[in-house]
């Protein structure tokens, strides 16, 4: 009866309406719109605290950007408006752009992708504006840092996927969310263009010189990171649970991530009214930066974490699939298996079985924090990070599906773990074990897979009988023991949490850009490499385990060594070979 009361109280319609209201704000960190969004969520969840952390500082190796608040601006090219008023389309200003301090008249230089030095050969861009269609971080490193450009007009779409019609040609009118890196210099500004705008400007070079007239009115806002914390439930012998959603991103930002913030607000409202018999902390944060700032001075022993990021999608419109992120191999946990069991529904598309970083759960799953956390993320999404991410692309049915799945999972581990759910969780653990163990030829990897399955079984045993799973895993108990014998926790890092890449110099960033082009999975690999090494596992074994986890076939040993050597040189880790 109590479970039914939770589900009856939950209102997916309310979550959808909160998302709609949130999507009207431009949620830049430290900005006026972000503060309004915090107040809106606070009005829904009731008693909660707005925690304020300094912006523009270093925190556990992360460079927290200064606050950024956009008041307005425009862009003209050869005397004609391309962007008439940034108040109407704030996504058209590149995040972290400095104020222009009046109207700027600049020559525009076409640098192609802007990602390679040859793009700038024979072109003087110093003090000028550049037109580029490459990765904005790389364009900044070369065009601004190396060659001295002052302004960037950017067209760049991440995660192009033709099968879901996410290509420049098929979303030609959409403006992509674009941000300068956190280490951007003062005085640099820029505009994000749609593909149609980009092509139109590019054609103008055929007729001679191109000039821009630009204005950006921005400031540092309140220059703080605001984290909303709601403490729910009653103290008990059960460990705390952490629920997170990031509240930042440009307007409209409906599915990413007004939907996650809205659903968390509605879940928090239900848990408060139900007075859940365990402590739950709900956090609405500026993505990544707010979470690492919070964890710097909050050292709780969390049982597990659930992150809600892009949960509202109408899958027919966005062509999305719900990704239930597994926890990394270095931190085995049943949290993703439990949610996957409670979310099984033939009316929706869903997958699990692989860890991905990229949202706030990633901070918790670092070995220095060690919390088994999952993210519920519908991805890929045709309209991801574009001006087309509007509430009409969301679905009340999606809110109902995912919201009830989270509430049922919380109920399971707090009050009653049904046999049907237990069977599904055990079946998923067994399935992943068999698939990974079967395709792994290396004894080291097979041992670790056995160890992970045994750890999940032990966690599950706290709530339900696991005789079937225990019998299946019995022949591999020696493998699991040998893997556990590799673990001898060491403290490799001098910081808490994942290591952000801001320590890199120009040479490092060029190296990393080329490595990720060659091995896209290297971005995740390097985090997991450090996780395994924090557990006391040798470099050789850590490299092999992380390679197999992310299915990397290429040789990454030299790149891994370079990465560790540079971290040691920068004084971030204690490492020598």
Q: What CATH number does the domain containing 367 carry?
A: 3.40.630.10
d(CA 537, CA 109): 51
Please check whether residue 169 lies inside any domain of the structure.
yes
* Mean pLDDT to the nearest integer, 206-210: 92
Q: Which of 24-28, 469-473, 488-492, 547-551 shows the lowest per-residue confidence on average (mean pLDDT)? A: 488-492
The number of beta carbons lying within 10 Å of the beta carbon of residue 122 is: 5
Burial pattern 200-233, b for ≥16 Cβ within 10 A else e, equals ebbebeeeeebebbbbbbbbbbbbbbbbbbbebb
Same domain, 81 and 58: no
Same domain, 548 and 561: yes
Question: Helix (H, G, I), strand (E, B), or coil: what is residue 104?
Answer: strand
d(CA 540, CA 519): 19
Same domain, 83 and 204: yes
Per-residue confidence band for 229, with pLDDT thresholds at 50, 70 and 90: very high
Give residue 554's domain range: 501-569
- β pairing state of 350-352 and 302-308: unpaired
Count of positions (residues) in the chain: 577
Tens digits of residue pLDDT in 468-521: 999 999 999 999 999 999 999 888 998 999 999 999 999 999 999 999 999 999
Please check whether residue 556 lies inside any domain of the structure.
yes
The pTM assigned to this predicted structure is: 0.97
Please check whether residue 1 lies inside any domain of the structure.
no
The residue from 184, 219, 254 where one domain ends is 219
Please check whether residue 154 lies inside any domain of the structure.
yes
Please check whether residue 106 lies inside any domain of the structure.
yes
- Asked if residue 141 lies in contact with residue 128, where contact means CB atoms within 8 angstroms, the answer is no
Q: Is 80 exceeded by the pLDDT of residue 209?
A: yes
- Tell me whether residue 185 is exposed, middle or buried, using C-beta atoms within 10 angstroms of its C-beta: 0 to 12, 13 to 18, 19 or more: exposed
- Asked if residue 74 lies in contact with residue 92, where contact means CB atoms within 8 angstroms, the answer is no
Please check whether residue 194 lies inside any domain of the structure.
yes
Question: Helix (H, G, I), strand (E, B), or coil: what is residue 385?
Answer: coil
The residue from 199, 219, 239 where one domain ends is 219
Q: Is 70 exceeded by the pLDDT of residue 78?
A: yes
296 Cα distance to chain centroid: 19
Q: Is 90 exceeded by the pLDDT of residue 299?
A: no
Same domain, 437 and 467: yes
Tokens linked to 300? 């709780």
Same domain, 206 and 232: no
Q: Widest CA span of the chain, in angstroms?
A: 77
Same domain, 51 and 86: no
Q: Is 90 exceeded by the pLDDT of residue 576?
A: no
Cα dihedral 535, 536, 537, 542 in deg (nearest 10)? 60
Same domain, 74 and 58: no
List, in sequence order, every residue forming a beta bridge with 553; answer none if it has no partner. Answer: none
Please check whether residue 576 lies inside any domain of the structure.
no
79 Cβ contact list (under 8 Å, min separation 6): 211, 213
Same domain, 89 and 162: yes
* Mean pLDDT to the nearest integer, 77-106: 98
Per-residue confidence band for 577, with pLDDT thresholds at 50, 70 and 90: low
The number of folded domains in the chain is 4
Same domain, 33 and 155: no
Give the residue from 556, 503, 554 showing the smallest Cα distance to 528. Answer: 556
d(CA 426, CA 124): 63
Tokens linked to 183? 């280490």
Q: Is 80 exceeded by the pLDDT of residue 251?
A: yes
Q: What CATH number does the domain containing 136 carry?
A: 3.50.30.30
Same domain, 150 and 97: yes
Q: Is 90 exceeded by the pLDDT of residue 112?
A: yes
Same domain, 76 and 206: yes
- Asked if residue 113 lies in contact with residue 132, where contact means CB atoms within 8 angstroms, the answer is yes
Q: Is 80 exceeded by the pLDDT of residue 137?
A: yes
H or E segment and range at residue 494: none
For the chain, percent helix, then strand, then coil, each to nearest 5?
40, 20, 40
Give the residue from 441, 443, 567, 452 showing the smallest Cα distance to 512. Answer: 567
- Asked if residue 279 lies in contact with residue 233, where contact means CB atoms within 8 angstroms, the answer is yes
The number of beta carbons lying within 10 Å of the beta carbon of residue 431 is: 13
Same domain, 259 and 278: yes
Please check whether residue 377 lies inside any domain of the structure.
yes
The residue from 219, 252, 273 where one domain ends is 219
């Amino acid at each position: 009866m109590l479970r039914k009361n939770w589900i009856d109280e939950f209102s997916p319609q309310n979550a959808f309406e909160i998302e709609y209201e949130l999507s009207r704000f431009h949620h830049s960190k430290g900005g006026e719109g972000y503060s309004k969004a915090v107040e809106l969520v606070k009005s829904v969840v009731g008693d909660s605290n707005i925690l304020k952390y300094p912006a523009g500082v270093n925190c556990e190796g992360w460079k927290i950007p200064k606050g950024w608040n956009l008041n307005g601006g425009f862009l003209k090219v050869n005397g004609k408006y391309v962007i008439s008023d940034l108040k109407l389309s704030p996504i058209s200003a590149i995040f972290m752009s400095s104020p222009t301090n009046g109207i700027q008249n600049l020559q525009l230089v076409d640098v192609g992708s802007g990602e390679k030095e040859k793009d700038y050969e024979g072109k003087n861009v110093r003090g000028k504006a550049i037109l580029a269609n490459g990765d904005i971080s790389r364009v900044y490193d070369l065009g601004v840092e190396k060659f001295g450009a002052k302004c960037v007009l950017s067209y760049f779409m991440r995660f192009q996927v033709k099968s879901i019609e996410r290509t420049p040609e098929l979303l030609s009118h959409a403006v992509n969310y674009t941000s300068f890196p956190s280490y951007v210099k003062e005085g640099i500004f820029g505009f994000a263009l749609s593909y149609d705008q980009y092509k139109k400007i590019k054609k103008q070079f055929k007729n001679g010189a191109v000039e821009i007239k630009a204005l950006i009115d921005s400031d540092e806002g309140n220059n703080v990171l605001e984290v909303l914390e709601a403490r729910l439930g009653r103290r008990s012998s059960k460990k705390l649970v952490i629920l997170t959603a990031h509240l930042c991103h440009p307007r409209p930002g409906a599915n990413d991530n007004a939907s996650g913030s809205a659903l968390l607000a509605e879940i928090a409202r239900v848990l408060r009214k139900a007075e859940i018999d365990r402590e739950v902390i709900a956090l609405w944060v500026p993505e990544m930066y707010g979470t690492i700032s919070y964890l710097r001075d909050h050292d709780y022993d969390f049982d597990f974490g659930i992150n809600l990021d892009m949960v509202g999608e109408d899958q027919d419109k966005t062509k999305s699939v719900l990704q239930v992120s597994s926890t990394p191999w270095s931190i085995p946990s049943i949290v993703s298996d439990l949610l996957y069991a409670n979310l099984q529904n033939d009316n929706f598309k869903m997958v699990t079985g692989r860890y991905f970083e990229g949202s706030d759960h990633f901070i918790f799953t670092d070995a220095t924090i060690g919390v088994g956390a999952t993210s519920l993320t519908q991805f890929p999404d045709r309209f991801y990070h574009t001006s087309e991410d509007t509430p009409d692309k969301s679905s009340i049915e999606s809110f109902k599906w995912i919201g009830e799945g989270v509430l049922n999972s919380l109920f399971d581990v707090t009050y009653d773990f049904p046999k049907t759910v237990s069977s599904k969780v055990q079946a998923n653990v067994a399935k992943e074990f068999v698939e990974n163990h079967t395709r792994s030829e290396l004894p080291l990897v097979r041992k670790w897979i056995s160890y992970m399955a045994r750890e999940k079984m032990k966690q599950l045993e706290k709530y339900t009988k696991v005789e079937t799973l225990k019998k299946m895993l019995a022949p591999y108990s020696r493998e699991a023991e040998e893997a556990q014998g590799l673990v001898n926790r060491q403290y490799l890092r001098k910081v808490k949490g994942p290591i952000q890449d801001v320590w890199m110099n120009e040479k490092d960033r060029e190296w990393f850009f080329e490595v990720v082009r060659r091995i896209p999975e290297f971005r995740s690999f390097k985090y997991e490499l450090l996780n395994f090494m924090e557990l006391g596992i040798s470099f050789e074994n850590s490299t092999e385990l992380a390679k197999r986890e992310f299915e990397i076939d290429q040789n990454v040993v030299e790149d891994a060594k370079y990465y560790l050597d540079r971290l040691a040189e920068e004084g971030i880790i204690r490492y020598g070979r």
